[in-house]
């Protein structure tokens, strides 16, 4: 009986220690780590085709050199999700640069994007393309938000070739 109580106390102490460790990591994690988590959250949202989660990652001030604003980007994202049956994103490289105030970040991403079209009759054929992107982020109300996306290489999306500007 006494031995069981000791195991319970040890288990409880280990649980408290683990929770404390993760809380400290969350509170004191670096800005670069938070940016990395933001990018990976966007990846998961795109792969699960969750339009609401994607929309929540986009700043109200979003604007890019393709003349898209926040609403247009959400519309385009919805169209891409409707066009593809499955989306898989493999992030190969992420180069994160923060400004001195740590409220803006620029991230260059190299990723392999595999997509399966709904029109594709064969269940196993994916269209795939490795691309380079630059995303600009801004920290608003303590959260990172997408401010701009730029293609650094030509890509084909939904059967249309988009040139890097």
Give 24-79 pLDDT, tens digit per residue: 555 445 889 999 999 999 999 999 999 999 999 999 999 998 899 999 999 999 99
Assess if residue 16 is contained within a domain: no
Assess if residue 51 is contained within a domain: yes
State the pTM of this model.
0.76
Q: What pLDDT was estimated at residue 28? A: 46
Segments forming the whole domain that contains residue 70: 31-162
Both tokens of 73, joined, read 């980007």
Q: What average pLDDT is seen over the chain? A: 84
Q: What is the CATH number of the domain that holds 96?
A: 3.10.450.50
Q: Which long-range contacts (CB under 8 A, 24 or more apart) does 40-43 make?
A: 40/91, 42/146, 43/89, 43/91
The string of pLDDT tens digits covering residues 102-122 is 999 999 999 988 888 887 655
Assess if residue 44 is contained within a domain: yes
Q: Nearest CA to 129 among 149, 115, 145, 146?
A: 115
The structural domain count of the chain equals 1
Which range has the worst mean pLDDT, 37-51, 78-92, 113-127, 144-158?
113-127
Q: What pLDDT was estimated at residue 104? A: 95
Assess if residue 15 is contained within a domain: no
Assess if residue 4 is contained within a domain: no
pLDDT (mean) for 90-113: 93
Assess if residue 142 is contained within a domain: yes
Please tell me the distance from the alpha carbon of residue 82 to that of residue 116, in angstroms, as a whole number: 11
Assess if residue 9 is contained within a domain: no
User: How far out from the chain centre does Cα 161 lie?
Assistant: 23
pLDDT (mean) for 144-164: 84
Half-sphere exposure of 59 toward its Cβ, with a 13 Å CA cutoff? Answer: 21
């Amino acid at each position: 009986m006494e031995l069981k109580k000791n195991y319970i106390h040890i288990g409880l102490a280990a649980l408290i220690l683990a929770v404390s460790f993760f809380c400290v990591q969350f509170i004191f994690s670096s800005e670069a780590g938070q940016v990395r988590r933001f990018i990976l959250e966007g990846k998961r949202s795109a792969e699960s085709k969750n339009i609401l989660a994607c929309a929540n990652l986009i700043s109200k001030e979003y604007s890019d050199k393709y003349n898209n604003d926040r609403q247009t980007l959400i519309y385009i994202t919805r169209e891409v999700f409707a066009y593809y049956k499955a989306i898989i994103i493999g992030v190969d490289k992420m180069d994160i640069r923060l400004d001195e105030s740590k409220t803006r970040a620029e991230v260059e991403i190299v990723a392999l994007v595999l997509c399966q079209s709904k029109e594709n009759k064969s269940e196993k054929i994916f269209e795939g393309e490795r691309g380079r992107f630059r995303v600009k982020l801004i920290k608003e109300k303590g959260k990172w938000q997408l401010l701009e996306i730029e293609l650094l290489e030509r890509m084909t999306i939904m059967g249309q070739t988009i040139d890097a500007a």
